[in-house]
Structure 1
Amino acid sequence: MRRFGNTAIASVTVVALCTGAWLLRSGAQTHAPPQPSAAQASTAPGPGTGGTGPGTDHGGAHSHRPSALPPSPPDRIRIPSIHVNAPLMGLGLTPQGSLDVPPAAKKNLAGWYEAGTTPGETGTAIVAGHVDNAEGPAVFYDLGALKKGSTIEVERRDGGTVRFSVDAVEVYDARNFPDEKVYGAAHRPELRVITCGGGYSKATGYQGNVVVFAHLTGTHRPGDGSAPTR
């Protein structure tokens, strides 16, 4: 059985991402990753939609909302504005109920929650990756610098590409992580990209998470005559 729901992820979701071994070794003040500003936060309530409201269109009353696609595993994520171009591996849950993480040694590898929604189908798809490892910055080191309106692209195993637009970039303390807002069901194809962030402690590592909220704005499928953006 492929999915059992994003709500199965415990509130300790990405704690394994957040040790901050590089900051511990090299000094947090010098090498702390960028954090989102208040200007990038959501501006309206809406659990599970990044504060944008279910089904909101972002191009005026006559904007075209792309149709959701059938399930297909994702193979690669690209975020051009922060120079991310990374393969994706499937992630499950640890025995404690938290989201597992990619191997820390593979710093340009991200993962997706393979028991949940696949990017491009209706619902909330989850992607997570390390902010750093013992050697330095990792795949999502600059995630906190992402801006509203930025583009995220995901290549799917069916040969298609789905394109998302960023609605909000927020940072949460791990003790007050808003599970429903981040993992809650959506009525359109949405994406969450998660890494570590917030304050940093040598004793505990990063004390929170940066979360990007995005919604589907374009699709390309083999044979449809269109070309994905690059």
Structure 2
Amino acid sequence: MPPAHRPALSRAHLTIFTLLTLVTLLTSCSSGPDPTVRVAPTAPTAPAAASGAPKSERPAADAPAAPAEVAVPSVGITSSLMELGLNKDRTVQVPPAEEGMTAGWYTGGAVPGQIGAAVIIGHNDTRFGKAVFHDLKKIKEGADITVTDKSGKALHFTVTATESVAKNAFPTEKVYGPTQERALRLITCDGDFDAQGHPVDNLIVYATAS
């Protein structure tokens, strides 16, 4: 189970984490077949820690419940959550294209509702059509995001900002880096398509616990 608090990363760890995250987000969504997305079974937290993701410092019995569902009522989004870890090549997993209507929680980040940055990733479109976060671009500042954990507890977050960024200029530290807030980030693809049919931008939604 990931930690409730993300300790500050060393410069070396942050550099490694920046590179692996950037590579992943460059290939995380596609309107057509995308052979660069390598999806694997859920990765355990130990490999994530070895690549710069924080290690748990809490006893397992004291760990918070993992998230099970995310909902954004204002734009009609409701999805169960799969767990996303790391691929064998150390890139961050994304939901399989054939499960495009299901978002995923990155287990190398914080648990939603705990101190730190919790990250949920979902496709905008896949080769199968519209995906879970297709309408995320319609979200407004002040909107509610509800994350329900596996114990049935509903956690509410308020959107503080949205940002559309080029994938080759992704603000990795801002999104994944340490914070003392109980923060949540939703990430999907955005913008125009390149020659291979892949969106060139990412949409990032920033929220904090209500």
Shorter-chain TM-score category?
A: 0.7 to 0.9
The partner residue of 2:130 within 133, 137, 151 is 137
The partner residue of 1:84 within 77, 90, 108 is 77
Q: Which residue of 2 aligns with 1:226?
A: none
Residues 1-230 of structure 1: pairs in structure 2 closer than 5 A = 2=2, 8=17, 9-21=20-32, 71-203=64-196, 205-217=198-210
Q: What is the Cα deviation at residue 103 of structure 1? A: 1.6
Q: What is the Cα deviation at residue 165 of structure 1? A: 0.3
Q: TM-score by structure 1 length?
A: 0.68
Q: What is the Cα deviation at residue 70 of structure 1? A: 5.9
Asked whether the equivalents of residues 17 and 131 of structure 1 are also in contact (C-alpha less than 8 Å), the reply is no
SS in 2 for 1:144: helix
Q: What is the distance in 1 between the residues matched to 2:90 and 2:164?
A: 22
Give ranges in structure 2 of 5+ residues lacking alignment. 34-61
Asked whether the equivalents of residues 71 and 117 of structure 1 are also in contact (C-alpha less than 8 Å), the reply is no
Asked whether the equivalents of residues 103 and 120 of structure 2 are also in contact (C-alpha less than 8 Å), the reply is yes
Q: Percent identity?
A: 35
Q: What is the distance in 2 between the residues matched to 1:134 and 1:205?
A: 11
* Rg (Cα) greater in structure: 1
SS in 1 for 2:141: coil
More helix by share: 2
Asked whether the equivalents of residues 30 and 127 of structure 2 are also in contact (C-alpha less than 8 Å), the reply is no
Q: What is the distance in 2 between the residues matched to 1:202 and 1:13?
A: 19
SS in 1 for 2:98: coil
Q: What is the Cα deviation at residue 138 of structure 1? A: 0.4
Give ranges in structure 1 of 5+ residues lacking alignment. 23-68, 218-230
Q: TM-score by structure 2 length?
A: 0.74
SS in 1 for 2:189: strand
Q: How many residues align?
A: 171
Q: What is the Cα deviation at residue 2 of structure 1? A: 3.6
Amino acid at match of 1:92: G
Cα pair distance change 1:96/1:176, threshold 3 Å: farther
Q: What is the distance in 1 between the residues matched to 2:157 and 2:102?
A: 20
